[in-house]
Each structure stands twice: as structure tokens, then as C-alpha cells.
Structure 1
């Protein structure tokens, strides 16, 4: 560095050079147009609630945490994995050849990250190649059904010998599913192509490893089958887990539809189709908002006051504004209508705890499926919930899935709403015990109290959302619970007897003190002797 340049000036020059080169560089392949951002920084509100669940503690993957000094111990193991990847390759390519291929994808890699990457292209390519080697070697343990990988477990032993196998394995598991620790899935696919001759075989093995990871980390019972998902449709490992776990709501499936001629056209790339889906989603969501509907009605409201148009007012409203007129057929209190249209806050989820529901006679039963199987049977008074497995990885998995769901804007916050529901019904270890005895929770934590802490800690949300299916279940449970005679009687006693008890007690004490004072007065002045005798 020249002596007349300070370090800050040098950094500024480096930034300007990088930005200028990025802006002047032409995109070589139009197929990559519209690559969506998929690797986000965890929102501050969520990060502050539990940093340990979002910040990697053992290994950094990708650029967000690569320079943290406390994670440098794993660099040696990552380099060892890169060396073994070279030996394991069935092609004649050298490792630097793979780096050169990733260097060509530099702009695609940068496009996946929401945060600015203050790295030059060569550094980024080497980082991706080495981190991908480490990640794939770790994931190989989940693809044991392939004979070609039978010798992988002996290679994995090099990875964990330094810290004890199980604790270190769980620590790496938690790190690799963190939102800020993701690397693009197409980098992993490129690395697999480097190791195997057939891209079809490499995709099959990679999918097998990702399904094994899903089976290991999924908090829900997977006995209802494994969803079929193409890895080419996934942005990274966390996105794959999300697509496997989160049900696709009816609303999301409707707003993401694109015309068949576009969907089936081979000339239009997948990335551009995804861009169109997101554009259609945002547009439809905006058009369905109450503000847009009000603005759309404004010109007609003005025209309908002009005499020539008054005769057309009623038929026009039936044809064009029927959706807004239908609710008027069943009038409701204004406060209920406003609450129904307004997305509720996390703190506003009003539902009794498991203990309260159980005392009222409501039962809990496993639904043998995912979140989409949450239902309430009002005939039997049974709330069906998916079997949730609680272990040392569950909280980090759910938290990062919720953070990704909120940051990506991929649709309704289904997982967020589920965690809010569980936070609403679980208040104490007694609630966890009842759910565990009912088969809704399989608790591998040290105690039921830890399970209650986990659910109660997941109460932060960065944006509001209504999930029709889950909110309907919450309303049904509350309606059933509030209609039970024992609940009504309990509320009557609490409101009219317990609430009046202080007044009754005060009146009794005052009367008692008055009698004592009267007795003392009469004993001194003989007021009873002054009364006329019965004999007289």
C-alpha cells in the first residue's frame, strides 16, 4: 500500500473498483436473469431474542461469518475436506478447475445474498469451493444407501475426532441450518458434478443426503410420507427443509399461479418464472388489500351521486363490488369485523393453556402429519396437533425456519403461526407433560420444563400475518371452550363472587368491629339494664 494512503482510503478505493467492475460487467448468460435473494441477515428483533440460535458457534459457511476469529479452528478441517474431495473425484479436473467454474458464477452467487459481500471474486470462489467440500462431506453420512459412499463414514471420523462425536455433530447440524450460514444450492450441485461423472447421479445422491438431513432435523413426524421436491427448485438447505416442512397454503398456491403457456415454455428459464411468480404474488396481494379496494371504489362512489348514474348504482355494485356487499347480509358488531380484517399480533393470540383446556374436558391427540393436519373436532372435543419432537436441535431449526419464512416473503407465515399457537397453549411444564402423555410431544430434552421454556421463548414475529387454516382452528377451540357450562360457571363465580369477596369481607369485618364496640360500651354504661324488663 502506498505510504500516502490510509487504510480507510484503501478500503474505499477497493470498494469503488469492485462496484465499478460489477456494474460494467455484462451478464454472460441471460438464463440467470431474476435470481431471487435467498440468504438473508436474521432480522434484529429475532436476533436479539436468542443470538445463540442464529449465530454459528463452531463452523462458518459462506461470507457472513467467515472472518470471525473464534471460528478459525474449523478452517483446518475444511481444508482437509477439500483435499479429500479432490481425491474422491472421479473426474480429471483439479480443485482449482472447480474454483474457476465457480468464478464464472460469481454474479449469481452474489445475487443470492441480501447483504453486501466485501470480497473479490477469486476469494469468494475459493471460499465457496472449500465450504461446499466441507458441507458435502458432512452430509455424506446421510446417503449411506449408496454403495459408492460406503467408505465415507471413515472419512467422517476425521471430522469429529477432535471434539467428541455426538456433541460436535449436533453443533455442526445446528450451524449448517442457520439462515446466515447458507450457501447457494447450485454451488453444491456444481461440487457434486466435480465428484461424479453423471449429473443425474450426483443430483440423486445430493437429494438423498438432503432427505436424510430432513429426517434428522424435522420437528414433525414424517410417517405420512416424504414430499417430492426437486432440488433444482431449492435455493439452499434451509429452503429445502422449509419446503419439506411447511404446507403450501391455498392462498399462496393461488397467488403464485402463472399462465400455463409461460410455465410450460422451455424458452423461459426457471429463475425468470420464479421472478414472475413473485411479481404476480405481490401484485395480487396489493390488489386484495382493503386500501386498494377503497381507492378502486372511490370513482364509482362519486359517479353514483350524479343523477344519470343513480339508476345503475345497484346492478353495478352487485356485479363489480359483490365481494364487499356480501358481508352486509349478515351484520356483525363493528369491533368483530375490524378484528377479522386486521392481522393479529403475537400477543393477541387468546387461547387457554393445555391445562385449562384439559380441565374443561378438551382432549389432545396426534394428527400423524404436519402442520396442515391441525384440526379441531367439536363433536368429540379433540384438538389434533402434529407430533413434535423436541431435542437439542429443534429450537435452532424452528427459529431459523421462521426467520427465513419472514425474511423471504414466500407467503403466509405458516410456521410462525404454528409456533405462536404452541406458545399460546404451553405456559408451564404441566402443559408439556399433558401433551407428552397425549402423544403430541416426544420430549428428548432433559425435562418438560425445558420444553416449556423453548415454546415460550419463540414468541417474536417481525411482521403480521393471518393463516386462515390455523386461525380457524383457534377460533373453533375458543368457541367450544367458552360454550362449556363448567367454563361459564367458573367465570360467573370468578366475576360475581370472587370479585365481590373483598367487599363482603370488608362489610363482615366492619360489622364484627361494631358489635365488639357495642358490647364494650354496654359493659361500661349498663345499656342493657336501662331496657324495660319483661316482668314489668
Structure 2
């Protein structure tokens, strides 16, 4: 049986030879050096958990999805919107625009990771139609302060086309990894159609894209570039939103307070001294408890009807013994462990139970921090709606494909997945202002969103965030250990008379039993007949 092949005919083989010659040509290699790959197909390893979050459901944008059978019925709406933009500028018809874009064909191909097996005209038509459609959609986000007469009066052709398309569905499709159009194509179209200087076009387009990102980003955007930088320094709308979310703030990465000027060595010493004191208190009562429990074990092994009522309560006491032993030797309470690939952290309500407070912080993912002295966990503000899950999943995929050695946003989603277990955790974060009160998702939907996020892709170099997670875990376990020791110590000291009485009773009972059995044949006397 012949192996499967990509070729169906000799003409396909001829086309393949032509493609290879184009790929290895010096001109193409020169273009690749100038225009790095920026638009990828999502591998199944990233999309398998929820494929629909990465596959457009309504509108196809770009060559990867343009001819998808399920999406093609919307093609005429895109064409209608594209024609509306051309009519607004009244400069070129569609064929003239294609000719003006012809020199960009090789640069377009270089932007996509997958080889685009389209003829030149087909590819240019795809890019022109989809680029004009995006301009029609984005113009609604244009900042009025900089718009002037640039696109004023352009009607929303999609809404007037006879069928009111779902705006949220378009937003989700536009932000998907595989549905991207290079930003420079949008710039080129606007420069050709508007007759405006390139600097003005960058400002106008940047205003649209920044407004879109600020409105739909799941994280509050605090570090914002200029309108021109939003276009010139980022490859497409998803890349812009990603860098707005994870970029370093201009000032300090972490919130600082005067109290934080003290050295961390003082904090470590005080934490260590508290743990040592609690351990000493525990040791003082451990010997008394151990002697009493050992006597209880011996009493349990004696098969005498007289002590049967007492034996029913011995198991409870012995269970307490095993719990105390496990507590004193628990590795998480004794030594700090290395951070695993998957984030292991207590949930919000558990952290809250040991005195951890949550406070919003500006600066995105890079500003996440934990103040060990005050017990304050600083997290960026989340604003969630029906589009947030798709946007966050595609930001994770974009990061994995473009920055595989520094998955900071991925680590952040794992952190949120770790601290949110139930709706009670969501409510606590809402009360603390970490989840914006204007978020349209219910607490149940928010809990499902984070619990449905994928686990870790693999080891990442996110030292600062991992160090923060370690500090939170250490604080939690130290506080929990101290609280348990304190509770047990207070209980034992308050009940020492009861324990002394119990120990005396057990000792007398064992002595009496030993005396009785030395005078009589206990096994034969109590053996069942």
C-alpha cells in the first residue's frame, strides 16, 4: 500500500518545486530577515482543551481561515463593509487597491508561519477584503480627540447590511491567534486610501487599536504606549494587547512602602523565631501526650469485657496521635520546597483564613508581589466579560508561540487557577477589588473560567513570579503551623488536669490488671466458652 502524499497530480509536484525555489531564493531570505514570522497556527497541544476558543465561529480573517466552509457565508458581509470603506475615501476602486498592494505580497507571506499556497492575486484579495473589514470595525473605537475628519461619517456597514451580526462574536474572532492581519497592511491601506501623511495614519490607527485593547483587555491596562508606537512596535492587534498586559511599568516593578525598606533578613528571623517558639511549646506537652497514648494502645490490646466501654473511645485518641505526628513532620511546614511546574498554592479563602489580604496593583503581571510583613498579596485588576476566556486563552497561545522561554502570562493564569477553587474565592476577590465590580460575568461563570484553564505548558523562566508564589506558600504554612501549635498548646495547657487524671486512671487500671492477672489465669478466665 502506497504511503499518503500531499500530491494529487503532476501539476501539484510542479507547484511544489516552484514554491521551494521561491522559499530559498535570496530575495525571499532577505524579506524574512526584515519581516519575522508573527502569525502562527495553534498546535493541538495548546488547543485540545477547548478547540472552539481558537477557531473562529463567525468571521474568517486572514489566509489561514478565509476559505473555511462554515465561515464563508459571511464573506459577502465583509465585502460589503470593505466597499463601504473604499466609498468613504472615494479614491480607489477595489482593483486599483489590489494593484497598489502588489509589492507587499512577499512581505505578507513572510509574516505567516505556514506557507500560503495561494496565487498572488488570491492572497492580495484576501488581505485587502479582510483589512478593509477590520478598518470598518475598528473605526468605532477611534478616539474623537484625534479623529478629526479622518473616518468621520463612515457608517457601520456590518450593522446596516441587513443582518445585525453579533459584535461579541466578531471581537472574539478578531483576537484569535490564527485570525490576525499584519498591522503594516492596515497602515498601507490607510496611506493609499486617505492621502494622509504616514505619521497621521499611525496616530489614527494606533488610537483605534489602543481603544479596542483597553476596552476588551481582561487585565486593566496601565502602561500605555503612544498611538504611533502601538502600530510601529507591534505586529498585530493580539500582539499589542499582549504587550499592554505584560509590559514592565516605567517605575518600580512592585508596590513599595516605607516599611519595605527594612531588610528581608529581619522578616525571616522573626518568622523563624515564631516557629521555634511554637515548636518548643509543642515539645513540652508532647511527652505527656505520648506516654498517655502509649498506655492507651496497650489497654486496647487487652481482651477484657470490663474495659470494653473505654476501648470504644481509644481509636479517636490514637487518630489524634497520628495527626500530631504528621503535623510535626510535614515537609511543607518545615522546609521551603522548590516551585513545581504546576502552580501549587492555597486558594483565596485558605489564604484569607490565615490573615492574607488582597490588594489591587497597577503594572500588570510584572507587578504581582507579596508583602510578607503585612501579609498583603498584590494582584492586577481583572475585568471580565463574555469575551474574556477566549481572549485569555489566545494570549496564552500567542505567548507560547512567540516567547516560549518566558511564559509570564501563562504563569499568571496558572496562579489565578490555583487560588480560585470555588465561588467563595471569587466573592472574596471581588470584595478586595481584584475582580472589577463592573465585570459582567457572574461569580459562577468566573469560577468556571479559571478552573477550565489549561495546566502548565512546561517549565518557564518566571523567577520573580515563582518567588512570589514561594513567599505566599511559606507565609501560609508558617501561619497555619503556628496557629495549630498555638491551638494545641492552649488546649493541652487548659486541660492538663484532665490529662493528668486520665493518665493516672490508665496507670492504676493497668497496675490493677497486672496484679489481678498475676494471681489468676486471665486468658483462661476470660476466654469465651
- Give the TM-score normalised by the residue count of structure 1: 0.68
* Comparing 369-378 and 31-40, the one that deviates more: 31-40
Q: Which 5+ residue runs of structure 1 have no aligned equivalent?
A: 1-5, 254-332, 498-526, 529-536
In 2 relative to 1, CA 104–487 (structure 1 residues): closer, same or farther, beyond 3 Å? farther
Within the candidate set 402, 426, 443, 1:432 is matched to 426
* Comparing 460-469 and 23-32, the one that deviates more: 23-32
| CA distance in structure 2 between the partners assigned to 1:408 and 1:376 by the alignment | 29
The residue that corresponds to 1:108 in the other structure is: 107
| CA distance in structure 1 between the partners assigned to 2:79 and 2:366 by the alignment | 43
Query: How far has the Cα of 1:462 moved from its partner?
Result: 3.1
| CA distance in structure 1 between the partners assigned to 2:115 and 2:337 by the alignment | 40
Within the candidate set 170, 176, 179, 1:178 is matched to 176
In 2 relative to 1, CA 10–171 (structure 1 residues): closer, same or farther, beyond 3 Å? farther
**Does the 8 Å contact 2:249/2:363 carry over to 1?**
no
SS in 1 for 2:9: helix
- Matches for 1:207-246 after TM superposition, within 5 Å: 207-222=206-221, 224-228=222-226, 229-246=229-246
Query: How far has the Cα of 1:375 moved from its partner?
Result: 1.4
What is the CA deviation profile of residues 2-57 of structure 1, one whole-angstrom value per residue up to 9, with x for unaligned ones? xxxx9920562453254155247652895763421111111212211111110000
| CA distance in structure 2 between the partners assigned to 1:89 and 1:491 by the alignment | 76
The residue that corresponds to 1:507 in the other structure is: none
What is the CA deviation profile of residues 228-276 of structure 1, one whole-angstrom value per residue up to 9, with x for unaligned ones? 43412211111111111112499xx9xxxxxxxxxxxxxxxxxxxxxxx
The residue that corresponds to 1:60 in the other structure is: 60
The residue that corresponds to 1:135 in the other structure is: 134
**Does the 8 Å contact 2:405/2:460 carry over to 1?**
no
Larger radius of gyration: 2
What is the CA deviation profile of residues 57-78 of structure 1, one whole-angstrom value per residue up to 9, with x for unaligned ones? 0001111112211111211011
The residue that corresponds to 2:454 in the other structure is: 459
| CA distance in structure 2 between the partners assigned to 1:397 and 1:81 by the alignment | 24
- Matches for 1:266-345 after TM superposition, within 5 Å: 340=338, 344-345=340-341
In 2 relative to 1, CA 337–15 (structure 1 residues): closer, same or farther, beyond 3 Å? farther
The residue that corresponds to 1:151 in the other structure is: 153
Query: How far has the Cα of 1:88 moved from its partner?
Result: 2.0
| CA distance in structure 2 between the partners assigned to 1:337 and 1:436 by the alignment | 33
Within the candidate set 364, 368, 378, 1:370 is matched to 364
Is 2:360 the counterpart of 1:359? Answer: no
SS in 2 for 1:114: coil
- Paired residues in the alignment total 398
| CA distance in structure 2 between the partners assigned to 1:77 and 1:490 by the alignment | 68
Within the candidate set 180, 189, 192, 1:191 is matched to 189
The residue that corresponds to 1:315 in the other structure is: none
| CA distance in structure 1 between the partners assigned to 2:391 and 2:486 by the alignment | 40
In 2 relative to 1, CA 217–381 (structure 1 residues): closer, same or farther, beyond 3 Å? same
In 2 relative to 1, CA 366–249 (structure 1 residues): closer, same or farther, beyond 3 Å? closer
| CA distance in structure 2 between the partners assigned to 1:20 and 1:29 by the alignment | 12
Query: How far has the Cα of 1:191 moved from its partner?
Result: 0.9
SS in 2 for 1:383: strand
SS in 1 for 2:378: strand
SS in 1 for 2:82: helix
The residue that corresponds to 1:85 in the other structure is: 85
The residue that corresponds to 1:421 in the other structure is: 415
| CA distance in structure 2 between the partners assigned to 1:69 and 1:339 by the alignment | 52
**Does the 8 Å contact 2:77/2:158 carry over to 1?**
no
RMSD over aligned Cα, in angstroms? 3.2
Q: Which 5+ residue runs of structure 2 have no aligned equivalent?
A: 1-5, 254-330, 493-524
Is 2:164 the counterpart of 1:163? Answer: yes
Moved over 6 A (4+): 336-339, 490-493
| CA distance in structure 1 between the partners assigned to 2:171 and 2:385 by the alignment | 12
**Does the 8 Å contact 2:223/2:247 carry over to 1?**
no
SS in 1 for 2:344: coil
SS in 1 for 2:27: coil
